[in-house]
Every structure is written in C-alpha cells, then in structure tokens.
Amino acid sequence: MRVLAAMSGGVDSSVAVALLQERGHDVVGVTMRLWGGPSDTGCCSATEVADARRAAARLGVEHHVFDFSEEFDRHVVDPYVADHAAGRTPNPCVECNRHLKFDALVQRADVLGFDAVATGHHARIVTDADGRHLVARGVDVAKDQSYVLHPIVDSDLGRVLMPVGEMTKDRVRARAAALGLRTATKPDSQDVCFITRAEGRAAFLAERMALHPADIRDVDGRTLGRTDAVELVTIGQRRGLGLAGGADRRFVVDVDVAARTVTVGPPERLVGDGVALDQVRWAGGRPLAPGTEVAVQCSAHGEVRPATVDTAGAASATIRWRSPQRRVAPGQSVVLFGQTADGVEVVLGGGTSAPGDGDPSGLGELQQLPGS
Amino acid sequence: MIPADDTTLPRPVPDGPAVDLDRAATTPLRPEARAAMAPFLAGRYGNPSSAHALGRDAMRAVDEAREQLADLLGCAPSEIVFTSGGTEADVHAVTGGIPTRADRVVCSAVEHPAVLATVTALGGSTVAVHRDGRIDLDALAAELSSPGKVGLVSVMAANNEVGTLNDLAEVAAVVAVHAPGAVLHTDAVQAAAWLDLRRVATPAALVSVSAHKFGGPRGVGALVVRSGTPLRALLPGGGQELGRRSGTTHVAGIVGMAAALSALDRERDEVVRRVSRLRDRLESELSGVPGVVPTVVSSTPRLAGTAHLLIDDVDSEPLLFLLDDAGVRASAASACASGAAAASHVLAAIGADTAEEGRRRGALRLTLGHDATDGQVERAVEVIAATVERLRAPAPRLTPDREG
C-alpha cells in the first residue's frame, strides 16, 4: 500500500515508518505544522520538523511538511479557550487527534491518492465479529494512547495503521537505536504542545480571553478568599488558591463561572456516584445497552474505574460507578472500555463529562440537567 | 498497491522528465562560474588579507571580480560591498543606511521578508501597491509627506512572487520631491537575473543582489553603495570591504558571482526574448484550464521567467505535492524555511487573497530558467491541467481493506 505516515519527530512515529517499510509498504512521511506560536515540546516546532526529516532520511522515505495551522486554531486552540471560558477542563490532545490527524490528514491522504494513513500512537485497531473497526489499547499499557483516540469511531479507522501499538516502548526505543535513529533516546512529549512552560496556561489564556476574579467559599457559604481567575480553577484542585493553611484538607468541589464562585470542601465532597456525558461517540455508531458493564478512564493515564452504563442516547450517556468515585471535572474526556471475545480491551465509546456534574448528591439529579 | 476497484484514480499524468519551474528559488550553478571558482577551492586558497604571495593572488582575483561586477551593475568598484547573500545585503542596507536612528523607514507592502521584517523591527511603515503589484506612487507620496523625517525608502526592483517590476526612476522622483535627502534602497535580487541593472537600478543609492539567483553560488551577494551614501557597518571586526563588512573574504564565491553575471550579461537579450515568449505560452495555455487565471494581467511589466496563477477550488499544498510527485517543481508563493506553504503577504497586499468569500483558491508560482524549453512548457501544462482536474474531482476513498 501507499501509506502517508504522520511523523511528529518523536521516536514512536519514526519506528512506525520503519515497521511499515518492513511490511513492504511504500511510505511517505509528513509532519503536520499545527501551531505557529512558541512551543516547548510541540509536534510542530522547527526542531521537531528537523528531527522528523532526519529520521525520514535515515529510513529512506520522502518527508513533507503540511500546514494545518488554520485547522488547528479552529478545532483545538479556539475550543480550548472557549472551554476554559465556560468553566470546563478540556483535553486538547483528544480534539487534535479527532480533527487533525484523523480528519484533516486522512482527507488530505485521500486527495493525494494514498491508501492508508499511519501514526505512531500506542494503540491498536482491531476488527470485531461484526466487522467493526475498534480502537484497542496498545500492548504497552503504561504508554497506551487509546484514551486520546476515543472519538475516532467511524470507518476511517479501517484506513489507519498504528504499528507501534503492538510494541512496548522499550522495544520501540531498542528498534530505533538498532536503526540508528537519533530519536531513540528522545524523551516522550508531555503537556499541551501549544503552551510553553515559560509562559504557562494562565498567561496563554489571559491573552485570548477575559479572566474573572471570584470568591472562594466553603460549603457553608463562608467566604475564605479570592482568586484572580475563576476560569483557571478545576474541580479537585487543592493548591494555588492562596488559602491560609488549616488542619483540614480542602479541595475545590465546585466551580461556578457564571456566579464567579469557587467552593472548597473536604475530600468526601469530591466523591460522586456517577458521571453524565455529552458529545458521546459510540464505537461503530452503536450505543451500549443500559446495564452494560464497562471499565472507565477519565484522564490520559488515569486509573480505570468499574462502572455500569445507566442510560445511553445517540450522543449522551450516564454512567454509574460500582462504588463511589472522585468526580470528573466538566469537559474531561471519559472513555468506556470493554473486552472483545478474545480478551482485548477496546474503546466502546466516550464523551466529555457534562457541565453540572458538580452535585455530589448523586446521579438522580444529574439526569435532570439540561443537555445531559 | 492500488486497489483493483480503483479505476478512477490516480496517475492521470503519463510519466515524463522532471521540470524545474522554481528558478526564482534558486538556479543551477553556471559552468562559467564553476570553472572560475575551481582554482580558489583548490590551490589558490589564499586569504586576501594576507600580505604574502598567496594572499596577494587572492586579492587580485577579488579585485578583478569587483571590477567586472562594477561594470555589470553600473557602479564603481569601490561602491561594491560583498555580503553573504541577498538577506544580508537587504538587512545591511536598511539598518545601516538610515542616516539617523530617529529617521523613519518606509518600504512597499510586497517586499521580501528580509526587508519587510527589518523595516518592521525599526518601527517603519509600508506603502500600498496596485493590483498588479507596482507600488502606489500616490500612497508613497502621502506616506513620505506625513509627519516625521523619512531617512530611507526601500522599494524592490522586481517582486519575487508575482514578478512585477517597479520603475525606480519614478520612485526616485517621488522620493526627491516628498522626502529629499532620504536614501533609496532597492532589492534587486530577482531583477538581477533578467534585467540590466546598469539601466534600471541607477536611481537607487543602495542595491542588493544575490549570486545564486543568476547562476552563481549560494552564500554570496553584494550591496552597491553609491559614493556619498553613508553606510554603518553591520559586522564589526577585521575591517574588510573598506571597513563596511568585516569577515574573511569569500574569494571563490565572489569570483563565481562575477563570472555568472558576466556570462548572463552576454546572452541576456536573447534569453529574455526567448523565455518571455515561453512564459507567455505557459500562462496562456494554463489560462485555458477552467478556473485558472493569471494573478496579474499579462501586460504588466514583469520578470521574463515568472508566471503566477490563481486556481479556483484547489488548495496550493496538495497541488504542489502532486506536481512534485509528477516531476514538476513549483511553488505556491516564495520558498519558505519550514517547507510548508504559508499565506502570502504579497497576494494579500495586491488584493488577490486566496480565500475569497469562502471559496478556496490556490496560488501557483512557476518560474522558468534561462534554459527553459518548449518541451518543459508542454510537460508542465499537461501535468498541471491534469492535476487540477484530479484535485477538483470528488476525493476517492482510501481502500477500506486493512492489511497493515
């Protein structure tokens, strides 16, 4: 096949190209230029492009740079800012995968006459008994990226290759070293690529939206202090609020951007019975039946929580934890995993934690919230 | 592997020889330049600053090249400052040529980034251009007449994207009336490959050229500094180039640059006549493809080798990818460092934005070399027409069969 391989400049995508070549594919490498601003580790800084180009040259494949910066602004950066303005905690990497790598790039590959698109994600694509393509966890569970790929549920998956999903990261690095790739020992990328450590999230957002001060109150309504930017506060947060230290451990248990109020309380107030999801995409377009048992992941490398699907609509769902769990900040991706007949853990669906999931009193009330 | 059911697809274009239509980006080294340079990359390796025989030999070669270039550029040998290329010449001219730092700097809105970024960094202003790319002389007069003394005006001799020429005598006349005393700089980097700078660049006190755009080597250029024009040094140091540009003299590059321009000058009239006819043929045949129009009207005075087209319902990036795949090397705008196509400030300034009313419009720059042929034009037309048609067809779906 003629394969267009996304090359970020990291070790995984470099090795992915080598594996595809070994399988006899005709591979062309491409680095997506996504972010025009400053970046520490981003996939599109000049040094990352150079690393990708050098890896491609070492492997003997052509390398191109495609400019998708407009699409990145529109689908990733703008929603990231809008989510914060609305008091949500977004996952920009999920949006980038969904709209850039698995939409813009796949479309471009179509136009250019490629048969498939490849990436260096640690995830696999499997076909179930009904012939549906599903995202499965990578072999290296610690590096698994199926969480950030969860919205990729449609037929596009049939044309996507993720060869390093079959390997542990150690083996990927060993292969890179054996191939003489300079990226073999390169550290994994971390954090949001368009926000630099020097500038930070607060300054990035302050340039692009209005931040508002808010009162910090306890659960009984007593005012304890003030924060400069209610939009930067996340449920579960403990530090950085400038509250005088007390004996109690106090966490943010509610953020109300409209009312400009942050509520802090004891850790037990962070616990809930379930989570309501919106923007749900189901694997194969098929909602799970209520009562289905699922394993739920609520952050990129977070623990898995056993749960049951309570209700499932076309683009919404409610999930009930088997035992009470820490609440999920609105806007976070919540991904539901299940197992195939042969025991492979696959994405069955996922969405974002709906606004209003701040009420610790339980699921009954969540279901009445508009839009959930 | 191409799937069996995929009969609508690809390769609409039969194979053929590769065609380089990106000669505004760079040019192959002329044989005359290579021959002239060879001794200085071998035994005659002296540093012209050395007093001994090796150094004197190198100095003699540089002196001869300087005289040769002076004759070709229409200036005195002492008026030439050798640089590392066009960017250094431009940056040196603008930063070193303003009489005082308090003076204002003005340039056209379609300058090369070397000028534009320098002018911007100095807090300068830009002047609008007409739809054909020429500087708007009324706008220039207005800008020069606005408050604050103007110290330097920079207007390119020929634009690197659309190829449009400015009449520097007209520009100089406006400067003389509205900003007497201001220094006029011209970026003649693209112009030097096609125009006789003895005739067109003389109104400018500072003139930038770059060797690799006209068959010389990369890494060498020149700034003409007419006598009486003060110029601060950009690089302090050993005092080479009469103290105006320190750094060990690039002997082979300088000798190659002079040889290339000299060879070009001998055949210039014939080349310009032949290539402009080929360019007109290329542009008119491509204009026959529906939705393809020349960016500037073909009667615009412009470089003989430049054709620039706007193409409806096609994005530049995939177009360039597929042209490259078929062996046709082209560009969307000018060559940029990252390799990705970026929005063109030139097209925005002339009002030929590529995204108008939500409609996609690709830009395509085709720049012919001195060695262009009818065969190249025919091949390019065939490939471009077929590729545009393919990109407008509904995208085929990738094969759904997984065999990874």
Beta bridge partners of B312: B361
CB A173 within 8 A of CB A185: yes
Question: So what's the pLDDT on residue A248?
Answer: 63
Q: Domain total for chain A?
A: 3
- Whole-angstrom distance, CA of residue A29 vs CA of residue A283: 29
Check whether residue A295 and residue A353 sit in a common domain: yes
- Whole-angstrom distance, CA of residue B242 vs CA of residue B250: 15
CB contact under 8 Å between A23 and B401, yes or no, is no
Asked if A117 is an interface residue toward chain B (Cβ–Cβ < 8 A), one would say: yes
* φ/ψ of residue A248, rounded to 5: -75, 150
Chain A nearest C-alpha distance from B404 (Å): 6
Asked if A1 is an interface residue toward chain B (Cβ–Cβ < 8 A), one would say: yes
Question: So what's the pLDDT on residue A182?
Answer: 87
Question: Could you tell me what percent of chain A has a pLDDT over 90?
Answer: 64
Whether A44 sits among the annotated catalytic residues: the reply is no
Residue A173's pLDDT band, with cuts at 50, 70 and 90, is very high
Residues 6+ apart with CB under 8 A from A273: A320, A321, A324, A362, A363
Whether the predicted pLDDT of A372 surpasses 50: no
Kindly state whether residue A148 falls inside one of the protein's structural domains.
no
Q: Which helix (H) or strand (E) holds B208?
A: strand B206-210
Question: So what's the pLDDT on residue A355?
Answer: 79
- Whole-angstrom distance, CA of residue B236 vs CA of residue B253: 21
* Residue linked to tokens 């078929």: B326
- Predicted confidence (pLDDT) per residue in A175-191, tens digit: 999 999 988 888 887 67
Check whether residue A289 and residue A335 sit in a common domain: yes
Check whether residue A106 and residue A249 sit in a common domain: no
Tell me the CATH number for domain B31-263: 3.40.640.10
Check whether residue A175 and residue A40 sit in a common domain: yes
Question: So what's the pLDDT on residue B44?
Answer: 96
| Closest by Cβ to A111, choosing from B337, B391, B402 | B391
Residue B159's closest CA among B343, B306, B354?
A: B306
- Whole-angstrom distance, CA of residue B155 vs CA of residue B134: 10
| Closest by Cβ to A108, choosing from B10, B318, B399 | B318
Asked if A115 is an interface residue toward chain B (Cβ–Cβ < 8 A), one would say: yes
Question: So what's the pLDDT on residue A2?
Answer: 96
Residues 6+ apart with CB under 8 A from B365: B22, B24, B161, B162, B306, B307, B308, B330, B331, B332, B333, B334
Kindly state whether residue A150 falls inside one of the protein's structural domains.
no
Check whether residue A234 and residue A252 sit in a common domain: yes
- Predicted confidence (pLDDT) per residue in B72-121, tens digit: 999 999 999 999 999 999 999 999 999 888 899 999 999 999 999 999 99
Please, what's the b/e burial string for B214-245 (b: 16 or more CB within 10 A of its CB; e: otherwise)?
bbbbbbbbbbbbbeebebebbeeeeebbeebb
Whether the predicted pLDDT of A327 surpasses 70: yes
The CATH number of residue A30's host domain is 3.40.50.620
Q: Which helix (H) or strand (E) holds B384?
A: helix B374-392
Q: Which residues of A touch B392 (CB under 8 A)?
A: none
CB contact under 8 Å between B1 and A115, yes or no, is yes
Check whether residue A254 and residue A181 sit in a common domain: no
Check whether residue A65 and residue A99 sit in a common domain: yes
Kindly state whether residue A132 falls inside one of the protein's structural domains.
no
B 9-38: CB under 8 A from A: 9-10
- Whole-angstrom distance, CA of residue A213 vs CA of residue B141: 50
Check whether residue A275 and residue A261 sit in a common domain: no
Mean pLDDT of chain B: 90
Kindly state whether residue A127 falls inside one of the protein's structural domains.
no
Kindly state whether residue A325 falls inside one of the protein's structural domains.
yes
CB contact under 8 Å between B340 and A67, yes or no, is yes
What chain B residue is nearest to A20 in terms of C-alpha separation?
B404
Check whether residue A40 and residue A172 sit in a common domain: yes
What 3-state class would DSSP assign to B129?
strand
Higher local confidence (pLDDT), A238 or A78: A78
- Predicted confidence (pLDDT) per residue in A110-132, tens digit: 999 999 999 999 999 998 888 88
Residue A192's closest CA among A303, A91, A44?
A: A91
Burial of A370 (0-12, 13-18, 19+ CB in 10 A): exposed
Question: So what's the pLDDT on residue B6?
Answer: 42
Residues of chain B with pLDDT under 50: 1-11, 334-340, 403-404
Question: So what's the pLDDT on residue A244?
Answer: 67
pTM score, two decimals? 0.84
Question: So what's the pLDDT on residue B395?
Answer: 67
Kindly state whether residue A193 falls inside one of the protein's structural domains.
no
- Whole-angstrom distance, CA of residue B292 vs CA of residue B289: 6
Check whether residue A174 and residue A218 sit in a common domain: no
Asked if B7 is an interface residue toward chain A (Cβ–Cβ < 8 A), one would say: no
Whether the predicted pLDDT of A280 surpasses 50: yes
Asked if B339 is an interface residue toward chain A (Cβ–Cβ < 8 A), one would say: yes
Residue A314's pLDDT band, with cuts at 50, 70 and 90, is very high
Q: Where in the sequence is the domain holding A237, given as residue range(s)?
A: 212-265
Q: What are the boundaries of each domain within chain B?
A: 19-28+268-392, 31-263
- What is the fold, at CATH topology level, of the domain defined by B19-28+268-392? Aspartate Aminotransferase, domain 1 (3.90.1150)
Kindly state whether residue A195 falls inside one of the protein's structural domains.
no
| Closest by Cβ to B399, choosing from A66, A107, A115 | A115
Chain A nearest C-alpha distance from B328 (Å): 15
CB contact under 8 Å between A65 and B318, yes or no, is no
- Predicted confidence (pLDDT) per residue in A62-112, tens digit: 999 999 988 999 999 999 999 999 989 999 999 999 999 889 999 999 999
- Whole-angstrom distance, CA of residue B183 vs CA of residue B398: 59
Question: So what's the pLDDT on residue B14?
Answer: 61
Kindly state whether residue A79 falls inside one of the protein's structural domains.
yes
Check whether residue A89 and residue A174 sit in a common domain: yes
Question: So what's the pLDDT on residue A35?
Answer: 85
Question: So what's the pLDDT on residue A369?
Answer: 30
Whether the predicted pLDDT of A370 surpasses 90: no
Check whether residue A112 and residue A246 sit in a common domain: no
Q: Which two tokens stand for residue A267?
A: 């850790």
A-B C-beta contacts closer than 8 Å: 71
Question: So what's the pLDDT on residue B354?
Answer: 57
- Whole-angstrom distance, CA of residue B381 vs CA of residue B364: 12
Whether the predicted pLDDT of A243 surpasses 80: no
CB contact under 8 Å between B318 and A112, yes or no, is yes
